[in-house]
Amino acid sequence: MKIVVIGGTGLIGSKLVSTLEDHGHNAIAASPASGVDTLTGAGLSGVLTGADVAVDVSNSPSFEERAVMDFFTTSTTNLLSASRTAGIRHYVALSVVGTDRLSESPYFRAKIAQERLIVDGGLPYSIVHATQFFEFVKSIADSATIDGEVHLAHAGIRPMAASDVAAAVAKTAVGEPTNGVIEVAGPDEWYLDDLVRTGLEFRNDDRPVVADPSARYFGALLGTDTLLPAPDARLAETHFETWLPANPVPVGR
């Protein structure tokens, strides 16, 4: 099966391409570096020719309100159009658990717009909603740091490893379109502040983590269950406390 992965050189995309290739599929990593630009449409028709599945795991380089909306709406519109022309039989996109509950956030408003375009796009599709990745714990802490303290809501979350996200997207891509949303999540339920505190302490980062109900997550206030998946979500196997020692901070970081 020929599967084109848009954003195929990124964190999830590179793991997804490897996973698909390991299972005998012809996985094509498409990105601006390979001459494929979803914002301009350049290279899309060529890379999608003869493909069975298009998978979009790309992300906006900017989270600024106008830039992120322009990225997701323009790139998705171009990719859907090229996919229809190429006769793609299954369109898959990666999104986020809780997206529909986070409309205060410019980033998630853009993701909502992306999902609406896919639903109305005229192609058989599957949207994978994943929870936050272990790999982003430090960047969450950095974005939430105020005067040396990390302010985060005491909100429930089931984080997961990027490799498990890629495995879930791969399984979806080679399956039949659901024409709906599939939720995937990590095996353990944490509170967001406890998760980040554990990650920072393991890596000897002495920033204190403060449970702050007024703290915003990508611009949105969180309720206790905002980031949690439904009870029927597919649960991955990798535990955060197992993942941490296996993924030390690279030298020089």
pTM assigned to the model: 0.94
The residue-averaged pLDDT of 186-197 equals 98
Which residue segment(s) compose the domain that 132 sits in?
A: 2-246
Half-sphere exposure of 12 (CA within 13 A, CB side): 28
Tens of pLDDT along 77-121? 999 999 999 999 999 999 999 999 999 999 999 999 999 999 999
Whether the pLDDT of residue 250 is over 70: the answer is: no
Strand partners, 211: 152
Q: What angle do CA 108, 111, 115 make, to 5 degrees?
A: 140
Whether the pLDDT of residue 251 is over 80: the answer is: no
Q: What percent of the chain has pLDDT over 70?
A: 98
Q: Identify whether 253 is part of a domain.
A: no
Tally of structural domains, the chain:
1
Q: Identify whether 188 is part of a domain.
A: yes
Burial track 139-165 (b if 16+ CB lie within 10 A, e otherwise): ebbeebeeeeebbbbebbbbbbbbbbb
Q: Identify whether 251 is part of a domain.
A: no
Q: Identify whether 128 is part of a domain.
A: yes
Q: Identify whether 252 is part of a domain.
A: no
CB 28 within 8 A of CB 2: yes
Q: Identify whether 117 is part of a domain.
A: yes
Which CATH number goes with the domain that contains 163? 3.40.50.720
Task: Give the pLDDT of residue 82.
Answer: 98
Q: Identify whether 115 is part of a domain.
A: yes
DSSP code of 1?
-
Tens of pLDDT along 195-212? 999 999 999 999 999 999
